[in-house]
Amino acid sequence: MHKFMTLMLLAGCAAPFGTPVPQAARLSTDVLTLTLSDGTICRADWAAAGGVGRLEPCGPGYGYAVEVVQNPNLLRQLFTGLTEALGAEGSVPPMAEVTITDPAGVDTVFVSPPPVDMGD
């Protein structure tokens, strides 16, 4: 019985941990940064790729699609206009919905920049 328990314990340790899951996705004006549950950080030049591509160096590979919000709210438009007027054009990342597709074909959707938690 003792040998059986030891064997079961070792079999449990050898089991695969599974594919890491997306935890966060953030955009700069041209780079998508994906953080996975195992701490892996992957980047892709989403702007140069036209908003759709694969994060190949990221483990088994994750797909992404970036859909930029074309008409953000008025406050966002004013803020972006102000930064551009001050000579910091391109310093404000776009508002977008980022869809990450894992190797199994499961989609996880993020909003970038992430919403502000107002603490209810």
Chain segment 35-75, per-residue pLDDT in tens? 999 999 999 999 999 999 999 778 778 999 999 886 655 55
CB contact set of 1 (below 8 Å; sequence gap of 6+): none
Distance CA 55, CA 64 (A): 7
More confident residue, 83 or 49: 49
pLDDT at residue 22 in the model:
93
2-19 pLDDT tens trace: 443 333 333 334 334 677
Mean predicted confidence (pLDDT) in 95-111: 92
Copy the structure tokens of residue 94: 């776009």
Where are the alpha helices (H) located in the chain, listed in sequence order?
Answer: 2-14, 74-85
